[in-house]
Amino acid sequence: HGVPATLVGVVRDLSARRELAAQQKKFASMLSHEFRTPLSTIDGAVQRLEMTGAHHDEGTRKRYRKIQTAVDRMLAMLDEYLSPERMASIGRERQPNEVNPATLLEAAAEQARKRRANVTVRTGGLPQWMRCDPAGMRLCLEMLLDNAIKYTEDNIPIELIGKIAAEGGVELLVRDHGAGIPEAELPKVFDKAFRGSNAASVAGSGLGLYMARSIVDVHGGTVTARNVSESGTEFRIWLPVAAEAGKNLARSEASSDNSLDAS
């Protein structure tokens, strides 16, 4: 007698899950090291500057505090997403996490508004629930928003848009109205440690967009960047509605909170 097809399918599914779990752990460990090492260096340097900088003017001390706040925020994000407890839970059997995508967008926008007041959210036709890692997707959106804030003047709005994609699935857009990205550099923006030619005066490690793409990859989606005709850059996260048979990433029930005009 042959091996039942159902059993073969289960074994293959378990093997795929183990491989994905191993990849996730490796990715989490790498990110933790890549971020914590430079952040610890910056944190120590800023603390020394603050302790020895009593004679500095208020403007300089304010810049020190701004750097310290940014470092503390990044460390808190790492603790939330890459803590030992989170890493240990990777690969365990558990029910998929669910989140209302409109709520997810609003939570990311609320965090961004602590730095930039003019962040708007528009949604329309989104499913009521989306199966994903809520903390991971929020972190991804926050990093895309952080990038938009860096390259957009204070008085220019930044938009978060959520809707059903034309090809099916869900799309989440982060749109700014800044200077845009040189066309030749668009294919490279998600590469590890890539810094664009317009980033010389902007603080950063070149890891944020790389990390955002990695999170989306784990969810079976894609993230792309393009320049929009009105000026500025649009980052598009696409997530599948049905990643595989019987395992919906997003439920089909439409949300009643539809406030997005056709665009």
The per-residue pLDDT for range 122-168, each reduced to its tens digit, is 998 898 888 888 888 898 999 899 888 887 888 888 999 999 999 98
Q: Is the pTM here over 0.85, yes or no?
A: no
Same domain, 127 and 218: yes
User: Is pLDDT of 27 > 80?
Assistant: no
Same domain, 83 and 111: no
**Average pLDDT value for residue range 91-102:** 66
Confidence band of 222 (pLDDT split at 50, 70, 90): very high
Angle at 255 between CA 251 and CA 261, to 5 degrees: 125
Q: Is 23 a member of any domain?
A: yes
Same domain, 102 and 225: yes
Annotate 220-232 with three-state secondary structure: CCEEEEEECCCCC
Q: How far is CA 44 from CA 47, 64, 153, 220, in A?
A: 5, 12, 30, 38
Same domain, 106 and 160: yes
What pLDDT does residue 102 have? 94
Contact, 100 vs 86, CB < 8 A?
Answer: no
Which residues in the chain belong to E strands, given as ranges? 98-99, 119-124, 130-131, 158-164, 170-175, 222-227, 233-239, 242-244, 247-248
Total number of domains constituting the chain: 2
Q: Is 54 a member of any domain?
A: yes
The per-residue pLDDT for range 168-191, each reduced to its tens digit, is 899 999 999 877 888 888 888 888
